[in-house]
Copies of this chain bind each other. A is one copy, B any other.
Amino acid sequence: MKEFDLIKTYFAKQLVKRKDVALGVGDDCAILSAPENKQIAITTDTLVAGTHFPEDTPARAIGHKAVAVSLSDLASMGAEPLWISLAISLPRVEQSWIEEFCEGLFELCEYYNVQLVGGDTTQGPLTITTTAQGSVNKDKFLTRSGASRGDWLYVTGNVGGAALALEQHYGRLTLSQEDKEAVFERLNHPSPRVLAGQIIKDYASAAIDISDGVLADLTHICNASSVGANIVLDDMPMHAAISHYLPQDKAYSLALNGGDDYELLFAVSESNKVAAETALSNANIPFSCIGQTNASGKITTTMNNKPVAIDIQGYQHFASNE
């Protein structure tokens, strides 16, 4: 099957037809009408098979994840998702694989009314690059750099589930069938916190999505905002299954260093604390206050009000080259 037929057959099949897409998939460019009095948020993410997801990940999960990781970046800026472009390299054309991939892709796009507006299909090792765009009210967006000393730190949902799935995948742990299904759902079908992002944009001073792990992503916020931070481990919302398999210190290490949870990590000033918590509660979004920024210039962790040591190491490509 020729590239062009592929694109026509599958990628043009989506149900989402936004009014702001004047010209969609199929020409040299798509033509989009940006919303008036708003700004555009844009993000690009690449997923490489074997690096960003296990080689045996189902096609549907890969399609889902390709959209989810980009929408998660939009969420962390407080943006409303609009459009997505997809570049995919495939070692060969397997129609059933592409069908399932598109199912996962379009399901999440439909949920958020995001239209696929273009892309490219090439032959090569399985690699997917998505570029997603969303809108924010003018100069009303979150960054990593706005946290002040004394701001409260929050995460949505819970962390460590995706990392536990990878422990099972690499044979380092053996989970029960029930736990396995639960954590692989976290790894393979992450839910981008789009609604949470749009709520916290009115209250948070800084935000990031947890793709590299709580500690690595908190480090990004701390570096960009020139603050330190202390994490109160007692308040860390751990995925329920972790404690079944790991002693406490290893459990915290996994939950804090593991990536791929795609929750939001954000900072809120003392004066916005009640309003932020009320707004999130009203929207039924689970969240936990996990600590506070400070002037220390470093990241520390405490348990039972006592300092404890945790390895700080996020997931870094090429890190092995050092």
Show the binding face of A for B, using Cβ within 8 Å. Answer: 1-4, 6, 22-23, 26-34, 36, 39-46, 48, 51-52, 73-74, 76-77, 79, 83, 85-87, 89, 92-93, 117-125, 127, 129, 131, 133-134, 136, 138-139, 141, 143-145, 208-209, 224, 316-319, 321-322
Contact of A42 among B85, B143, B317 (CB under 8 A): B85
A85: B residues at CB distance < 8 A: 42, 44, 131
The residue on B at minimum CB distance from A141 is B31
User: Closest CB-CB distance, A194 to chain B, in whole Å?
Assistant: 13
A143: B residues at CB distance < 8 A: 23, 27
Please, how many angstroms separate the alpha-carbon atoms of A79 and B28 in the complex? 11
Task: Provide 17 A-B residue pairs closer than 8 Å at the C-beta atoms, listed in order of the A residue.
Answer: A1-B318, A3-B317, A26-B224, A27-B224, A29-B41, A31-B40, A32-B42, A33-B138, A42-B85, A44-B85, A45-B87, A46-B89, A48-B124, A121-B318, A123-B317, A124-B125, A125-B125
Interchain residue pairs A-B with the least CB separation, the first 7: A34-B34, A29-B41, A131-B131, A87-B129, A28-B73, A129-B129, A32-B40
The residue on B at minimum CB distance from A70 is B29
The residue on B at minimum CB distance from A208 is B28
A40: B residues at CB distance < 8 A: 31-34, 40
User: Closest CB-CB distance, A88 to chain B, in whole Å?
Assistant: 8
A134: B residues at CB distance < 8 A: 29
Please, how many angstroms separate the alpha-carbon atoms of A73 and B31 in the complex? 12
Copy tally for this chain in the complex stands at 2
A131: B residues at CB distance < 8 A: 44, 85, 87, 131
Please, how many angstroms separate the alpha-carbon atoms of A32 and B208 in the complex? 18
A138: B residues at CB distance < 8 A: 33
- Would A209 and B28 be within 8 Å (CB), given that A120-B46, A124-B127 are in contact? yes
Contact of A4 among B3, B30, B316 (CB under 8 A): B316
User: Closest CB-CB distance, A51 to chain B, in whole Å?
Assistant: 6
Please, how many angstroms separate the alpha-carbon atoms of A196 and B123 in the complex? 31
Please, how many angstroms separate the alpha-carbon atoms of A304 and B134 in the complex? 55
Please, how many angstroms separate the alpha-carbon atoms of A265 and B317 in the complex? 42
For the A-B complex with A122-B317, A123-B317, A124-B125 known, give 19 more contacts whose Cβ atoms are closer than 8 Å.
A1-B321, A27-B77, A28-B74, A28-B208, A29-B42, A29-B76, A30-B42, A31-B40, A31-B141, A32-B40, A43-B118, A44-B119, A44-B129, A45-B87, A48-B124, A92-B321, A121-B317, A122-B127, A125-B125
